[in-house]
Structure 1
Amino acid sequence: MQYNMRVIEIKNQEQARKELPKIKCDPGGAAIMSNKAVYKTIKVENVLSKASLILKQTFLSKGGEASVSRGAADFSDQYTDVLLSGSLKHFKQCIPQLKVQPWGLKKLAEELEAVIAASENFPQRTYKLGQHRLSITPEKTLVMGILNFTPDSFSDGGKFNNIDAALKHAEQMIKEGADIIDIGAESTRPYGSEKISAEEELDRLMPVLEKVLTISSVPVSIDTYKGSVAREALKAGAHMINDIWGLQFDPEMAKVVAEYNVPVVIMHNQEGTAYQRDIMSHILEFLRYSIEIGEAAGISADNFIVDPGIGFGKSPSDNLVVLARLDELTSLGCPVLLGTSRKRFIGDILNALPSERVEGTGATVALGITKGANIVRVHDVQAIARITRITDAIINAKYQ
């Protein structure tokens, strides 16, 4: 072929600014073109049909595209979803005009701005957690090592359910590259776990937590959905909370997290696996509600970390869909935690026992990082830490 053509992917302005000089584009031209080189398609749900027509006309007038339902055009549908497509320049031109329009378009424009900002800016965070410093940066995916202090863990069968074994395992995970240790004293596996009281959970948790805190050179997270457990753990010196119900199970949880001003992982969860609509739409709506609960309680926006809840309230095929579309979560503007380690859907695909799922876990981790995961929660720390280092190196080399 004479021209050696290829399709390249430019996701944001920073990448455009690195690509344009490669063709020796004039610096002034590159500054202008960086807006035009980034193309986005954004789905907007539940727009009033009469508002959607103004939205569509605004985008068409600037050279962008907008798709609405057939029912929106003849007003047989009161509401419609909208697909907006265009360069970053088109969006930036349309947003000011939409802000002066009626029927909810001002709020829509503000949310468009927020989603675009989230997609353009990596969610960098630096947390000062006691004597520890934890940084989320584009250069490094963080590894959260799992310490199950339970008799009925699906993955290790209570292998570390005594203090000496738990301490040795925590030390080993840190040596192997864990950036965070996540301690769980109640099995929360989606199938067959037994719920326990807060008192029993604390009886299990506190002795091992106190010991781990004395030897850990990395922050310690507590895997609990109970506010009273979180309070006692944070009072003892724990550094962050990992809530599998995203602040929606116990009303006290958000208040506790706000009081101690710590990072909190908010995970999507539900009873059963039935969904009334698109699963990613449901997950994003759930997590946005969790963020609203947290902000109302006083949690800082920088303290939210989101988790799609792989394996929780999802069928095996649902899990694959969520992994394939994980990048949609970046619209929330929060760091993304991915927890796929040794989970059942991997075993179903590979016909493998939990202890035999490290390769499958590694595949999900590598893919997840390419789609925006910033933290991975895993059992097999050494193997997965090596996978994250290679994946990070490849991603960071892409636009050099």
Structure 2
Amino acid sequence: MSFNMHNLVAVHRDEIMKEFNKIGTDAGGSAIMAPKALHRLIKIYDLTPRQANIIKQEMLGKGGDAAVTRGMVDSSVDKTDVLLMGTEKQYRAVIKKLRLQPFKLASLADQLAEMLNNLGGRPPRELIYRDKKLPLGERTLVMGILNVTPDSFSDGGKHNNIDAAIAWAHRMVDEGADIIDLGGESTRPGYTPVSLEEELDRVIPVLEVLVREISVPISIDTTKAAVARRALEVGAHIINDQWALRADRDMASVVAEYQVPLVMMHNQNDTVYRDLMGDMVQFLRESIAMAEQAGIVRENIIVDPGIGLGKTAEQNLEILRCLRELDCLGLPVLLGTSRKSMIGKVLDLPFDQRVEGTGATVALGIANGADIVRVHDVKEMVRVVRMTDAVVRY
């Protein structure tokens, strides 16, 4: 006799609960069993052998496990990374025990508990920008790129006058853009930095018209606090900082003053990483702490892995595969892959022939947790987004 069976893939609690409902499981029993069904792999870096040994023993005692380096047992190493393996129920039990332990393990337990809560999923909510709101989590938002620069890698000079820029913004809104991202300084490899005055001269005249003529929020793509302040005075709604508050230390206070949403992108000047995703999460976690310390509310923060910025093509592909690992931060994720060089490298195509490759990365990004996608080809990507959402956001 052959029995009908198959494996299930579930990342969030609501997926587990749907399966319980299909079976007809008692509601009380479902609530008890759900934490047993969610298995988590969590990596912790740079623990002392003493810390790692306690954690391993506690995990084993609750039916889970923890992988450590070979030299941990005999203390022949000073530090070890630890890979925890267990169900959510096992983690919760271990957290209770770790809160009673010395060696800073109580603090680690609090962070571990916060991470488990974040991994439970981001419930739909509203992104508030001044007096308007955008749904976040119900569907994927599309951010249309408006570069008013002569040297952008993809469309440099194309919209480098006010009339052309305004017309393109209107077109993107008509095609379904939820946000317009206006930028006056290129970030392509080898770009030439522009002065504060030049960036203001490029961005502000266009912004002054856009805030009067279009209904969707306008994001300002800048790393300069003075540009952000002037743009917010004119009426911009979102700040998109490609250096996550690190290029200009005044940026955090400006955003905090206006209490607008802030996109913080991972970026660095080289492509050397100890652990790509681990390093990226730590970078973003530090920037989040900087933002909150300045008075920016966590609900206003969006993170961006920074595809193409400080990464090789291979590293960019790895980020797409592992994008779910940003879930541990519990924040909305913006993904910008549009026409990027990794697509050109894989498909051997110039930037103006990368629409299909962009569509593939957008679809995969949404499937792996992206909430907002930043794109050049709005009409085509809106269709990709809607189709992908029909599969993913059921």
Superposition TM-score tier, normalisation by shorter sequence: over 0.9
AA aligned to 1:222 is: I
Question: How do 1:88-237 and structure 2 match up within 5 A?
Answer: 88-122=88-122, 124-137=124-137, 139-189=138-188, 191-237=189-235
Partner of 1:318: 315
- Give the whole-Å Cα distance in 1 for the aligned partners of 2:253 and 2:286: 15
The answer to whether the aligner puts 1:337 opposite 2:327 as a matched pair is no
AA aligned to 2:238 is: M
Q: CA deviation at 1:51?
A: 1.2
- Give the whole-Å Cα distance in 2 for the aligned partners of 1:270 and 1:234: 26
- Give the whole-Å Cα distance in 1 for the aligned partners of 2:149 and 2:132: 26
The answer to whether the aligner puts 1:249 opposite 2:256 as a matched pair is no
Task: Give per-residue Cα distances to partners, 1:7-41, cap 9 Å, x unaligned.
Answer: 11111222111111212223332221111111111
Secondary structure at the counterpart of residue 81 of structure 1 = strand
Task: Give per-residue Cα distances to partners, 1:114-166, cap 9 Å, x unaligned.
Answer: 111111031544233234211212x3000000000111111113111111111
Secondary structure at the counterpart of residue 251 of structure 1 = coil
TM-score if structure 1 supplies the norm length? Answer: 0.96
Partner of 2:372: 375
Contact 1:132 1:217 in 2 (8 A): no
AA aligned to 2:53 is: L
- Give the whole-Å Cα distance in 2 for the aligned partners of 1:153 and 1:8: 44
Task: Give per-residue Cα distances to partners, 1:331-362, cap 9 Å, x unaligned.
Answer: 11110000000011101111111111010001
Partner of 2:44: 44
- Give the whole-Å Cα distance in 1 for the aligned partners of 2:156 and 2:196: 22
Contact 2:125 2:135 in 1 (8 A): yes
- Give the whole-Å Cα distance in 2 for the aligned partners of 1:56 and 1:238: 50
AA aligned to 2:182 is: I
- Give the whole-Å Cα distance in 2 for the aligned partners of 1:12 and 1:157: 42
Partner of 2:58: 58
Contact 1:141 1:374 in 2 (8 A): yes
- Give the whole-Å Cα distance in 2 for the aligned partners of 1:36 and 1:285: 28
Partner of 2:263: 265
Task: Give per-residue Cα distances to partners, 1:259-316, cap 9 Å, x unaligned.
Answer: 11011110011112222x1111111111111111111111111111101110001111
More displaced stretch, 141-150 vs 77-86: 77-86
Partner of 2:77: 77
Secondary structure at the counterpart of residue 393 of structure 2 = helix
AA aligned to 2:49 is: S
Contact 2:147 2:156 in 1 (8 A): no
AA aligned to 1:101 is: Q
The answer to whether the aligner puts 1:389 opposite 2:371 as a matched pair is no
Secondary structure at the counterpart of residue 222 of structure 1 = strand
Secondary structure at the counterpart of residue 128 of structure 1 = strand
AA aligned to 1:365 is: V
TM-score if structure 2 supplies the norm length? Answer: 0.98
- Give the whole-Å Cα distance in 1 for the aligned partners of 2:310 and 2:17: 41
More displaced stretch, 1-10 vs 378-387: 1-10
- Give the whole-Å Cα distance in 2 for the aligned partners of 1:24 and 1:2: 24
- Give the whole-Å Cα distance in 1 for the aligned partners of 2:225 and 2:287: 15
Q: CA deviation at 1:86?
A: 1.1
**Percent of paired sites with the same residue:** 52
- Give the whole-Å Cα distance in 2 for the aligned partners of 1:128 and 1:246: 20
Q: 1:289 aligns with which of 286, 289, 309?
A: 286
AA aligned to 2:169 is: A
Secondary structure at the counterpart of residue 211 of structure 1 = helix
AA aligned to 2:257 is: E
Contact 2:129 2:261 in 1 (8 A): no
Secondary structure at the counterpart of residue 147 of structure 1 = strand
Contact 2:128 2:261 in 1 (8 A): no
| Structure 1, unpaired ranges of 5+ | none
Secondary structure at the counterpart of residue 59 of structure 2 = helix
AA aligned to 1:11 is: V
Q: CA deviation at 1:253?
A: 0.4
Contact 1:123 1:335 in 2 (8 A): no
Contact 1:118 1:332 in 2 (8 A): yes
AA aligned to 1:309 is: G
Contact 2:67 2:83 in 1 (8 A): yes
AA aligned to 1:357 is: R
The answer to whether the aligner puts 1:279 opposite 2:290 as a matched pair is no
- Give the whole-Å Cα distance in 2 for the aligned partners of 1:225 and 1:272: 18
Contact 1:132 1:218 in 2 (8 A): no
Contact 1:123 1:333 in 2 (8 A): no
**What CA RMSD, in Å, does the superposition of the two structures yield over aligned residues?**
1.2
Q: CA deviation at 1:100?
A: 1.0
- Give the whole-Å Cα distance in 1 for the aligned partners of 2:254 and 2:123: 24
| Structure 2, unpaired ranges of 5+ | none
Number of residue equivalences: 394
Task: Give per-residue Cα distances to partners, 1:345-382, cap 9 Å, x unaligned.
Answer: 10111111111101000100100111111000000001
Secondary structure at the counterpart of residue 140 of structure 1 = coil
